[in-house]
Amino acid sequence: MSISSTNKAAFRRLKIIEGQVKGIQRMIEDEKYCIDILTQISATRAALDGVG
């Protein structure tokens, strides 16, 4: 099955977002500062807005 270039771009963005979420999980596990975690959450939300 062929994926259109638009779908490829969306898929790539989602893979990046997946990495961001995993990074946030690590930050929480490592008990990083709340402001740093919130900054990453904000960046991830912005990335999600860019997908669709």
Rg of the chain on CA atoms, in Å: 13
Predicted confidence band of residue 1 (pLDDT cuts 50, 70, 90): low
Q: How is the chain split into domains, by residue range?
A: 5-51
Residues in Cβ contact with 21 at an 8 Å cutoff, skipping those fewer than 6 apart = 44
DSSP 31: T
Mean pLDDT within 18-42: 98
CA dihedral sign, ordered 38, 39, 41, 42 = positive
Domain 5-51 fold: Methane Monooxygenase Hydroxylase; Chain G, domain 1 (1.20.58)
Mean pLDDT of 17-35: 98
Burial of 31 (0-12, 13-18, 19+ CB in 10 A): exposed
Mean pLDDT of the chain: 94
Q: Tens digit of pLDDT for each residue in 35-52? A: 999 999 999 999 999 987
Say which residues have a Cβ less than 8 Å from residue 34's Cβ, sequence separation at least 6: none
